[in-house]
């Protein structure tokens, strides 16, 4: 039964994440992001990582999505309008394709990720051990995620901004 719930939450999360990308309305995209984060929190609960689920809901779903919604509402965007984005330069497409293919090739060459050595006490069982692991072993991934959130916030601002002088150019 637990594998059924896990698979159901995984499908729900993937569908909501796809809806974030495919949504034309910025507010609907932010709400789908909220649902995707709730699905990930549900996956954490299914894996008995209650602290991670709580932190994900508190920080990401509670603060980051609310920040995105405030930015969207502050910029007074019309949800159905979509500004035409210029074609992506050829060099950017090539670099992105090479990076994705290198990541896939690296993952296929290594196979499965190596299992970490099991500590004497589970990392999630003690908040002190969890914090130690978070700020020593996993410091770089946490900082990278913070940077990605900053880039996503800037992307929301740029995509939601109305440019006044563009009508005269066309």
Given this model, what pLDDT does residue 151 score? 87
In the prediction, which pLDDT does 70 show?
A: 79
pTM of the model: 0.55
Distance (Å, rounded) from C-alpha 6 to C-alpha 9? 5
Residue with tokens 């990392």: 123
Environment class of 19 (CB within 10 Å of its CB; exposed 0-12, middle 13-18, buried 19+)? middle
**pLDDT at residue number 79:** 52
pLDDT for 127: 73
Domains along the sequence of the chain with CATH: 2-82+121-169 (1.20.120.1200)
Cα(36)–Cα(133) distance, integer angstroms: 26
pLDDT along the chain (170 residues), means of 10: 85 93 86 92 87 86 81 66 63 86 82 61 64 83 86 79 59
CA separation for the pair 81, 68 (Å, rounded)? 18
């Amino acid at each position: 039964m637990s594998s059924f719930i896990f698979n159901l939450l995984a499908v729900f999360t993937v569908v909501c994440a796809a809806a974030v990308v495919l949504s034309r309305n910025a507010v609907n995209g932010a709400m789908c992001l909220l649902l995707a984060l709730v699905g990930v929190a549900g996956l954490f609960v299914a894996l008995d990582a209650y602290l991670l689920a709580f932190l994900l809901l508190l920080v990401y779903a509670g603060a980051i999505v609310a920040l995105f919604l405030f930015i969207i509402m502050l910029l007074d965007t019309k949800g159905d309008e979509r500004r035409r984005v210029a074609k992506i330069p050829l060099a950017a497409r090539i670099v992105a394709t090479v990076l994705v293919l290198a990541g896939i090739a690296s993952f296929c060459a290594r196979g499965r990720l190596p299992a970490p050595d099991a500590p004497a006490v589970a990392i999630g069982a003690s908040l002190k051990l969890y914090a130690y692991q978070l700020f020593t072993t996993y410091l770089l991934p946490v900082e990278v995620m913070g940077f990605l959130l900053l880039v996503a916030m800037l992307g929301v601002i740029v995509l939601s901004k109305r440019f006044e002088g563009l009508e005269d150019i066309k």
